[in-house]
Structure 1
Amino acid sequence: MKIKAIITGATGMVGEGVLLECLNHPDVEQVLVINRKPGGVSHPKLTEIIHKDFFNLTPIEHQLTGYNACYFCLGVSSVGISKEDYKHLTYDLTMNVATMLAKLNPEMTFCYVTGAGTDSSEQGSLAWARVKGATENALMRLFKNAYMFRPGFMKAVPGQKNVKSYYKLLAWLYPIGRALYPAGFCTLQEVGQAMIKTVTKGYEKQILEVKDIVDLAKR
């Protein structure tokens, strides 16, 4: 199966890593990125839409049909913003995009990047984890093929431009962490490969922790 994928968040660390993996992968035929600003990447497979308002996709709706995958890597940190703003920029924004894509491409495989510690019960003490859990649960209700990715510490793909400063500072820790605590460490290349394989091979779980991501990437 050839993949035609939409990627959000491609100007961030996770999204850029997934994008680079998709552009290099033979099973990926076409990639559409929706960015608020130019990403600076050029490739024969790649189309870029610059669109600032993810709460109003109507102006670009006609460009979003004909895709069988979405790799949703757009997100914000809960640090320094109110609970209401975090919910609006996490749950509300994600579901607005997802609802549009589900209408246009009902058979689409939707992969969503959340994080280790996400609260599926939506009842825990951490607000961010409840919001992420609510988003995961809503996406799994919306799409028949939905996969929630919960990576831990991620090693960047070679050649990435958008790498968070603390990841650069702690890059030396990756091989030690992977050896001592493999459940908490994976590479962004593995994240990208696993996302691609959710479309071509599927997976027995809808929520993928680090060990699941690594396992699927190897298949």
Structure 2
Amino acid sequence: MHLILTGATGLVGASVLHNMLAQESISRISILSRRPVKMAEGHDKAKVIIHNNYRKYEKALLEELRGAQGCVWAQGVSQNAVSKEEYLEITHDYPLAAAKAFSTLHSDSPFTFVYVSAEGATQAPGMFTSHFARVKGETEASLFDFAQQNPMFNVYNVRPGGVDWLGQPEIHPFIPQQALYKRVLVPPLNVVYKGLITPTQPMGKIMTELAMSKGEPLQGSGVQMEGTVLTNAGMRRMAGL
């Protein structure tokens, strides 16, 4: 199986890549990145494709991606790191452009697109809804609508909570240094408010398996939007946490 991954140098993307590399049934990983991906070095089945314009997918790039059956879109940025306009472009416009491009890779078999959203995303924002929750929710809705109009394109919107990398030391050499407040808050939250936390190891496994699937609607608690949104509670349930 051939999968596409973005955001491989980030925390979520690194956990997904670690799982993809370990999956024997995955024969090829096409990693779209603005810079080299150290974790991919020395792995024959992982190919890093330097890609700088996430609004455009030239014919040559699509030919390289031809045959891919799924994607985990883990590219993202904090709303505090960029302007509101840049956050909208990165969080909404980039994955929508990719979805439209990747939907052409398979005309006669399903393609499954896994978008890394976030707990708190909403399609019904209120006066005090944060910018990230509003934009993530808009992206979920846009991807859902696109999939409804393209029967061979399936989407899952996955909403991690507070991402906990501490229990997966294998990815520590490859991820950005985490902010001090995260290093201080994650351990006690994991004890007092465990349900708000998303451990990276099961998260990477679930996202990989969703990308490998045929996109059937999810069932059970913690699932929304006709089986296409997997909340943190749903992910913890699937992981047996």
TM over 0.5: yes
Structure 1, residues 55-111: CA drift from partner, whole Å, max 9, x if none? 221141211211111000001211143322221222111111111011223611111
One-letter amino acid of the structure 2 residue matched with residue 112 of structure 1 = Y
RMSD of aligned Cα (Å): 2.3
Alignment partner, residue 86 of structure 2: 85
One-letter amino acid of the structure 2 residue matched with residue 70 of structure 1 = C
Structure 1 residue 134 and structure 2 residue 138: aligned?
Answer: yes
One-letter amino acid of the structure 2 residue matched with residue 186 of structure 1 = T
Alignment partner, residue 208 of structure 2: 196
One-letter amino acid of the structure 2 residue matched with residue 6 of structure 1 = I
Instruction: Give the CA deviation at 1:180.
Output: 2.7
One-letter amino acid of the structure 2 residue matched with residue 12 of structure 1 = G
Structure 1 residue 24 and structure 2 residue 22: aligned?
Answer: yes
Structure 1 CA distance, aligned partners of 2:228 and 2:177? 28
Structure 1 residue 165 and structure 2 residue 178: aligned?
Answer: yes
Shift in alpha-carbon separation, 1:56–1:149, aligned structure 2, 3 A? same
Structure 2 CA distance, aligned partners of 1:216 and 1:17? 17
Structure 1 CA distance, aligned partners of 2:81 and 2:33? 23
SS in 2 for 1:48: strand
SS in 2 for 1:103: coil
Moved more, 80-89 or 32-41: 80-89
SS in 2 for 1:70: strand
Moved more, 121-130 or 59-68: 121-130
Structure 1 CA distance, aligned partners of 2:88 and 2:185? 32
SS in 2 for 1:137: helix
Structure 1 residue 211 and structure 2 residue 220: aligned?
Answer: no
Alignment partner, residue 47 of structure 1: 47
One-letter amino acid of the structure 2 residue matched with residue 149 of structure 1 = V
Structure 1 CA distance, aligned partners of 2:230 and 2:32? 24
Percentage of matched positions with identical amino acids: 28
Structure 1 CA distance, aligned partners of 2:81 and 2:44? 39
Structure 1, residues 34-53: CA drift from partner, whole Å, max 9, x if none? 11111122212211111111
Instruction: Give the CA deviation at 1:151.
Output: 0.7
TM-score by length of 2: 0.80
- In structure 2, runs of 5+ residues without a counterpart are 148-152, 220-226
Count of aligned residue pairs for this structure pair: 216
Structure 2 CA distance, aligned partners of 1:31 and 1:149? 20
Shift in alpha-carbon separation, 1:5–1:127, aligned structure 2, 3 A? same
- In structure 1, runs of 5+ residues without a counterpart are none
Shift in alpha-carbon separation, 1:93–1:20, aligned structure 2, 3 A? same
Alignment partner, residue 75 of structure 1: 76
Shift in alpha-carbon separation, 1:80–1:30, aligned structure 2, 3 A? closer
Moved more, 139-148 or 7-16: 139-148
1:17, 1:192 within 8 Å by CA — same for their partners in 2?
yes
TM-score by length of 1: 0.87
Alignment partner, residue 190 of structure 2: 178
Moved more, 195-204 or 54-63: 195-204
Shift in alpha-carbon separation, 1:110–1:103, aligned structure 2, 3 A? same
Structure 1 residue 121 and structure 2 residue 121: aligned?
Answer: no
One-letter amino acid of the structure 1 residue matched with residue 119 of structure 2 = A
Alignment partner, residue 154 of structure 1: 163
Shift in alpha-carbon separation, 1:33–1:82, aligned structure 2, 3 A? same
Structure 1 residue 100 and structure 2 residue 101: aligned?
Answer: yes
Alignment partner, residue 66 of structure 1: 67
Instruction: Give the CA deviation at 1:154.
Output: 1.6
